[in-house]
Amino acid sequence: MKEKMLCTVDSKGVATITLSRPEVHNAFDDELIQLLEKTLEQLGKDKKIRALVLAAEGKNFSAGADLNWMKRVAEYSEAQNCEDAAKLAAMLNKLDSFPAPTIARVQGAAFGGAVGLVSCCDIALASERASFCLSEVKIGLLPATISPYVINAIGARQARRYFVTAERFSALRAQQMGLVAEVCAEGELDLTLQKLVNSITNNGPRAMAMAKGLALSMSNRVIDQALQDQTSALIAQVRASNEGQEGLSAFLEKRAPEWMVIDDVEK
């Protein structure tokens, strides 16, 4: 039986999770959600992981929920539905809080819950032909579980539109709203991804994890004395850390820091 998801880790510590159901446009069901959640948990504990790429096989990134799964949950009780939805919520939270930088590689369509996956990643790259749709209301449902992440990505104002209209929008529109960081030609998607990954793997692993947490924790905070004291204490802690000391020494000595992975072609 063909695997619904593939996971690889390269020599630089870059993990790639690939949705592997192109025959159903990489739609996900309860089994795939469980696989994703388990894999994210395992990778998140691995200190060697420097970055995570979320990709998909075939023409489309993901059509969202699998129809056969939807048929099954339609027969669930409210309690069973709550339990089922909680598993999706847990997986999304694992992706959103993943310690290393995360990148979504989006080609083709990303509908429904797939927009949630993209929203949970730190950075999203999309091909020019990529398109997005928060399609839940078309069948009388809500983008409830993904809503916190989508709203964080595009803002409440845009969410109020696309949650209720279920309009399909382009990669360029997604970029305008902040859902997508970069849009490129289909043939340049992997090259753009590799350049971004190379930038990430040059940086301090612990510093990146802390910087990611910083961006999340400082959002919409009042800049008062307590916040100033907190950020001052944080940078002091990092400067005194082993990684901070190594980074500063490498900069001053004009050498590569010990964490930087240099390709053989660059040597």
Per-residue pLDDT tens over the stretch 44-93: 999 999 999 999 999 999 999 888 888 888 788 888 888 888 899 999 99
- Residue 216: which region, alpha, beta or left (left: phi > 0; alpha: psi -120 to 50)? alpha
- Percentages helix, strand, coil for the chain, rounded to the nearest 5? 50, 15, 30
- What would the pLDDT profile of 28-43 be if each residue is shown by its tens digit? 999 999 999 999 999 9
Work out the mean pLDDT of the chain and round it to a whole number.
90
Query: Which residues neighbour 234 within 8 Å (Cβ) at sequence distance 6 or greater?
Result: 210, 214
This prediction has a pTM of 0.88
Average pLDDT of 204-215? 90
Residues 247, 251, 257, 263: is their CA dihedral positive or negative?
A: positive
- What would the pLDDT profile of 155-180 be if each residue is shown by its tens digit? 999 999 999 999 999 999 999 999 99
Q: What is the DSSP letter of 165?
A: H
Half-sphere exposure of 185 (CA within 13 A, CB side): 2
Q: Which of 29, 26, 88 is nearest to 54 (CA)?
A: 26
Per-residue pLDDT at 265: 37
Whether the Cβ atoms of residue 32 and residue 4 lie closer than 8 Å to each other: yes
